Amino acid sequence: MSIINKFFIKNGKSYSSAKIKKTELISSCFWFLDAENNNFLIPKKKLTISDKDSIYFQDLFDKVYINNDCAFIGVGKNFNSEIYIDFNLQKINFVACKDIEEGEEIVCSYHPSCFNNVTIQ
């Protein structure tokens, strides 16, 4: 379920449907743990170091399922939005971290707060 959507999908990517100002909420959705259907990554709450004292990508993130268009928001280094995760509500907020022009592709990055409650064992 999405609370708000300020984007549209075209060719499997998300684009701003209007000008979005910095700090404005772009969209919000809920995620579900689903072993068979997963289309998004969230940081794990508990990070377990492997027996070789190495950290692998699969050690850092859980695969989850988002059942709406938020799954089409790309993650990348040239981002214009950030992901904020509420682990208690299983909710993800996508927030503009700079002004986004109408028609501009929406690309996000994980806000450092996503990793605040991660424990390492």
pLDDT in tens, 40-88: 888 887 776 666 666 777 778 888 999 888 999 999 889 999 999 998 8
How many domains are there within the chain? 1
Asked whether residue 119 carries a pLDDT value surpassing 70, the answer given is: no
The verdict on residue 88 lying in a domain is yes
The verdict on residue 106 lying in a domain is yes
CATH number at residue 24: 2.170.270.10
The verdict on residue 78 lying in a domain is yes
The verdict on residue 51 lying in a domain is no
36-74 exposure pattern, b = at least 16 Cβ within 10 A, e = fewer? eebebbbbeeeeeeeeeeeeeeeeeeeebbbeeebbbbe
Q: What is the pLDDT of residue 50?
A: 61
Q: What is the pLDDT of residue 4?
A: 64
* 2 three-state secondary structure: coil
The verdict on residue 71 lying in a domain is yes
Domain assignment of residue 107, given as a range: 7-43+62-113
Q: What is the pLDDT of residue 53?
A: 66
Report, in angstroms and rounded to the nearest whole number, the Rg of the chain calculated over CA atoms. 15
Q: Are 61 and 91 in contact (CB under 8 A)?
A: no
Asked whether residue 96 carries a pLDDT value surpassing 70, the answer given is: yes
pLDDT level of residue 1 (50, 70, 90 thresholds): very low
The verdict on residue 104 lying in a domain is yes
The verdict on residue 28 lying in a domain is yes
Whole-angstrom distance, CA of residue 106 vs CA of residue 89: 24
pTM: 0.84
The verdict on residue 120 lying in a domain is no
17: closest CA among 76, 101, 108, 109? 101
